Homo-oligomer: A and B are copies of this chain.
Amino acid sequence: MEKLLVFGHQNPDTDAITSAISFAHYLNESGVEAEAVAFEGPSEETAFALNHFNWEAPRVVNTVSNEVSAVALVDHNEFQQSATDITNVEIKYVIDHHRISNFETANPLYYRSEPVGCTNTVIYKMYQEKGIEIPAQIAGLMLSAIISDTLLFKSPTCTPEDVAVAKELAAIADVDVAEYGMDMLKAGTNLDSKSSEELLDLDAKSFPMGDKSVRIGQVNTVDIQDVLKRQEELVSLMTAENAAENYDLFVLMITNIVESDSTLLVVGNGADKAETAFNVTFENQTAFLEGVVSRKKQIVPQLTEAYTK
């Protein structure tokens, strides 16, 4: 069989980059030639992990069908999050932990998805099942992804399996999870080098709610005030984006990764929906939500309910 390219989603986070690395290694050890690639270079958090475990970032590509006829997807399945030419290649493997949507194949394939906090938790199980040894450097990268996706096990998306696998990986990589994890997460919170436009776009997604559209971004920080000092400029940009894209509401989650809390900054007509959803009153367009860190579990469902009831 010819070589496969292995890649995570567009706008890659630490799990997208490192699961491409760990799954490509798994395939190579299984006798299937594979190379990890990515659609962008690593974020600062991911670069910290790659540097710490002395591993090169995956080669950046724009398209895949110019190189290969078959691929493996990790940490995603939806075509709009994948290679722009994904429909021109055969998908042989998918390893993931998301819902399945906008995905189809012409042929049977290997598809493995589990409702856990991180793709690398699934990949760890596959290594164990096949008895393939995980090199210490790759174990460190896999651990980094679990720390990143679960915010050091504090996100409600984290499962007991993620915690147990992280412990095994930490032993192989020989690192102190709490210390290394906080250093890595902090490396991703260096927002000073980013413009306010970049900060709003860093991890923003749009969600249809009722007959409205809501935009929700998230930034991780160790100091919420450090982000809020830009509030005036952020509000002005969010207002403009609401008008241009017809969003009813723009919510920016500013998450303190040390305290595991978030402050919401909201702009738009639907602010009253957010007040209902989170049982808060916004003051100066902001509200503090204790213990809230997960957009998927603690923001989207509650806001959807407020919009649809």
Q: A305 near B: Cβ within 8 Å?
A: no
Q: How far is the CB of A97 from chain B (nearest CB, A)?
A: 6
Say yes or no: is A3 at the interface (Cβ < 8 Å to chain B). Answer: no
Contact with B along A94-117 (1 / 0, CB 8 A): 000111111111111111111100
Q: Is the CB of B104 within 8 A of A113?
A: no
Question: Please, what's the 1-or-0 string for A109-151, where 1 marks a CB less than 8 Å from any CB in chain B?
Answer: 1111111000000000100010000000000000000000000
Q: How far is the CA of A110 from the CA of B99 in the complex (A)?
A: 10
**Cα distance, A185 to B226, chains bound together (Å):** 72
Q: How many chain copies?
A: 2
Across the two chains, which residue of chain B brings its CB closest to A114? B110
Give the contacting residue for A113; candidates B101, B106, B109, B114; CB below 8 A. B109
Contacts of A110 in B (CB 8 A): 113-115
Contacting pair B104 A108 (CB below 8 A): no
**For the complex, what is the distance from the CA of A113 to the CA of B105, rounded to whole Å?**
12
Contact B108 A111 (CB under 8 A): no
A residues bordering B, Cβ < 8 Å?
A: 97-115, 125, 129
Q: Please tell me if the beta carbons of B100 and A103 are within 8 angstroms of each other in the complex.
A: yes
What is the bound-complex CA distance between A111 and B103, given in angstroms? 13
- A29 → B minimal CB distance (Å): 18
Give complex CA distance A284, B107 in Å. Answer: 34
A44 to B240, CA, bound (A): 67
Interface centre among A106, A108, A113 (most CB of B within 10 A): A108
How many angstroms between the C-alpha atoms of A62 and B110 in the bound complex? 31
Bound: A111/B106 CA distance, A: 18
Please give the distance in Å from A59's CB to the nearest CB on chain B. 27
In whole angstroms, how far apart are the Cα atoms of A28 and B119 in the complex?
26
Q: How far is the CA of A102 from the CA of B129 in the complex (A)?
A: 30
What are 15 of the A-B contact pairs (CB < 8 Å)? Answer: A99-B104, A99-B106, A100-B100, A100-B103, A100-B105, A100-B109, A100-B111, A101-B105, A102-B104, A103-B103, A107-B115, A110-B113, A111-B113, A112-B113, A129-B129
> Which residue of B97, B100, B107, B125 is within 8 Å of A104 (Cβ)?
B100
Q: How far is the CA of A100 from the CA of B113 in the complex (A)?
A: 13
Question: Ordered nearest first, which 4 A-B pairs have the shortest CB separation?
Answer: A108-B115, A111-B113, A101-B104, A99-B105
